[in-house]
Structures are given as structure tokens and as C-alpha cells.
Amino acid sequence: MALWKYESRWRFIETFTQASSSSTSNWIRLYFDSAVKVDSGEATAKEVLRDHHGHWIIGFNRILGQGSIFNAELWGILDGLTILHNKCWDKVSIQIDSVEVIQAIQVAFSRTSNSALIRRIQQLLSKMDQWEMPHIPREENTKVDRIVKLAFNKNDGM
């Protein structure tokens, strides 16, 4: 298990580099799951990046402190896009089950958002060659939930 920047509350579970960051023809899929503890209100975002063959690239979680599911989902997208941008991957499919988040990001492309998170997501998406954010209905999102939960079922504490 590799730890990185734990002070900022990131925890990387494993890192594999099976996908080539020099390839611009491959899509990367961002899977994530967000949760807020009912008793404490503590939010977390858990992300998994996989290449176009389904191979694991990286998985991590971020404990966000007090927050909402909406903001946790935005942080999940922002963290994943930041990694993709830093690795020079420029095609992403963001697998998401929140219509509210999709609409907030789409509206941000037509006018300036009041949310710094959404503006930063917009900036990173504008640097991508191609991106998509298909809505995955919650009842069909069990595969994504399983992928993320399998990656984080050890020593999670959430």
C-alpha cells in the first residue's frame, strides 16, 4: 500500500501504470463513489481509474470532512481529472449517477458558475481532447459501486 500526501487527507491504495500516458487514442474511465456518514456528516470520495481495456490504473480515496454528497461527487471528478491531466491523458469517460452534478457542470459551460469546484472541473475538461459524462441510473450503477467498494473494502474506516 502506498501512501501519498496523507496530510491533505488523500490515501492511494495501489498504483499501476499499465496504461501508457503517451497514448492519446485511449479512453480512461473514471469510476467513483461518494458517501456522507449520517452520524458525523463526514464526506468521502473514492475513485478508481481504469484504461480502455478495463485494467486498473489507480485507486484512491479522499476524506473531505463535513460536506454534502453533491460536493463529494464534485471532488471525485476534480481529483480524477487532475490525475488525468497530470499524466497527459486526454480522453475521459466519467461514470456518474448524479443528474444534479451533470447539470451543474453542463450549465457551467454556458455561463460562469459560482462554485470554484465546478469552475476548476470546467477548466480541466476544456483541456481534454474528448470527454463524456453519461448519466448512469443508480439502479444500473451497481457495477461502478462494486468496483469502487472492492478497491476500498480494506482498512477504510468509512
Cα end-to-end distance, the chain, whole Å: 18
Cα–Cα distance, 10 to 7 (Å, whole number): 7
**pTM, entire model:** 0.75
Give the three cell numbers for residue 3: 501512501
Helix axes 69-86, 116-126, angle to 10 degrees: 30
Residue 89 lies in a domain: yes
CATH number of the CATH domain containing 145: 3.30.420.10
Give the three cell numbers for residue 158: 468509512
Helix axes 116-126, 99-110, angle to 10 degrees: 70
State which H helix or E strand residue 70 sits in: helix 69-86
Q: How many domains does the chain have?
A: 1
Task: Write out the residue range of the structural domain in which residue 117 sits.
Answer: 6-151
Return per-residue pLDDT of the chain as tens, 158 residues.
333 333 334 444 333 333 444 444 589 999 888 888 888 888 888 888 988 888 888 888 888 889 898 999 999 999 999 999 999 999 999 988 889 999 999 887 777 778 899 999 999 999 999 999 988 887 766 666 666 565 455 445 44
Residue 145 lies in a domain: yes
Cα–Cα distance, 37 to 25 (Å, whole number): 39
SS3 of residue 2 by DSSP: coil
Residue 156 lies in a domain: no
Residues paired with 128 in a beta bridge: none
Contact 54, 63 (CB under 8 A): no
